[in-house]
Amino acid sequence: LVSRKKKPEDTIVNVKGEKIGDGNPHFIMGPCAVESYEQVKQVAEVIAEKGLTLIRGGAFKPRTSPYDFQGLGLEGLKILRKAADEHQLAVVSEILNPNDIEMALDYVDVIQIGARNMQNFDLLKAAGSVNKPVLLKRGLAATIEEFMYAAEYILAQGNSQVILCERGIRTYERATRNTLDISAVPILKKETHLPVVVDVTHSTGRKDLLLPAAKAAMAIGADAVMAEVHPDPAVALSDSAQQMNIPEFHEFMDALLNKEKKK
């Protein structure tokens, strides 16, 4: 079902009017984790100011260590929704548990399935059974074929509103947090009809590489770019080192949007 051989035309995922896959660049920006209303409100304001319509933020955080901040859960989803509604933004947020999918429908506009859950088949089936766009991230060490099969699980349940997200894979290279597999973008665009987004924050794990990675993603045909923004990254409860602060976010967006205008 994900194959372009079966469906030659591009799938466009409409997220509250933002048509991901329509050939224009889209941006999914926001904090790593929802920490407080004040924090999300500040980010929502600048996203809206830049003319963007999507905000991301984790309420359920899949942390490597059980002792790290696990997210605010339902309270986090409520905070995101409130801050997003104040600026007519659409919410992208990760759900970890299949039993939380129904509950999440009231708060999120896109259900994110994280890298660590790419092969959580019960979660894929649950997300495939609802009428809500799904952003599926590539697994930590998943091949492109495994990634496409994971998406197939969602489509097989009847939900074809799937956005694929390349977020880097684990290799021997330690200069970046993960290795951004930029060639996965044209391969996924060729093999499937689904929109493809590149997460430059989790793939590079380096602030100095966010802009060049985003430019590369757009140049190679990605439909959207995801990156993390926090009002005060130094005190962030997760991914403190690689989130942009607000001035950096403005610079990042200006560089990308001006570049697009010149084309």
- Residues of the shown chain interacting with ligand PEP in the complex, contacts defined by CB under 6 A: 32, 58, 62, 94, 114-116, 137, 167, 199, 202
Q: Which of 230, 226, 263 is nearest to 54 (CA)?
A: 226
Buried-state track 89-108, b at ≥16 Cβ within 10 A, e below 16? bbbbbbbbebebbeebeebb
Partner in contact with 167, chosen from Mn ion, ligand PEP, none, beta carbon below 5 to 8 Å by kind = ligand PEP
* Min separation Cβ 91 and Mn ion, Å: 16
- The stretch near Mn ion (CB under 5 A) out of 24-32, 90-98, 134-142, 157-165 is 24-32
Residue 239 interacts with Mn ion (CB under 5 A)? yes
Nearer to ligand PEP, 32 or 194 (CB): 32
DSSP 89: P
Partner in contact with 114, chosen from ligand PEP, Mn ion, none, beta carbon below 5 to 8 Å by kind = ligand PEP
What is the DSSP code string of 7-66? --SPP-EEETTEEETSSS-EEEEE-SB---HHHHHHHHHHHHHTT--EEE-BSS---SST
Partner in contact with 139, chosen from Mn ion, ligand PEP, none, beta carbon below 5 to 8 Å by kind = none
Partner in contact with 94, chosen from Mn ion, ligand PEP, none, beta carbon below 5 to 8 Å by kind = ligand PEP
For ligand PEP, the nearest residue by Cβ is 114
Nearer to ligand PEP, 62 or 212 (CB): 62
* Min separation Cβ 32 and Mn ion, Å: 3
Question: Is the Cβ–Cβ distance between 92 and 28 less than 8 Å?
Answer: yes
Task: Please report, for residues 59, 165, 173, 250, the alpha-carbon distance to residue 168 in angstroms, rounded to integers and kept in the order given.
Answer: 22, 9, 11, 24
What is the C-alpha separation between 241 and 156, in angstroms, rounded?
38
Site string for Mn ion, 188-227 (x = CB under 5 A): ----------------------------------------
17 sits in the region (left: phi over 0; alpha: psi -120 to 50; else beta) called: left
Partner in contact with 181, chosen from ligand PEP, Mn ion, none, beta carbon below 5 to 8 Å by kind = none
Task: Please report, for residues 241, 242, 243, the alpha-carbon distance to residue 207 in angstroms, rounded to integers and kept in the order given.
Answer: 8, 5, 7
Question: What pairs with residue 33 in β-bridges?
Answer: 58
* Min separation Cβ 262 and ligand PEP, Å: 30
Count the residues in the chain. 263
Q: What are phi and psi of 205, to 5 degrees?
A: 65, 15
Nearer to Mn ion, 32 or 211 (CB): 32
Nearer to ligand PEP, 202 or 207 (CB): 202
For Mn ion, the nearest residue by Cβ is 32
Partner in contact with 137, chosen from ligand PEP, Mn ion, none, beta carbon below 5 to 8 Å by kind = ligand PEP
Contacts to Mn ion from residues 26-45, by CB under 5 A = 32
88 sits in the region (left: phi over 0; alpha: psi -120 to 50; else beta) called: left
Residues contributing to the site for Mn ion (CB under 5 A)? 32, 239
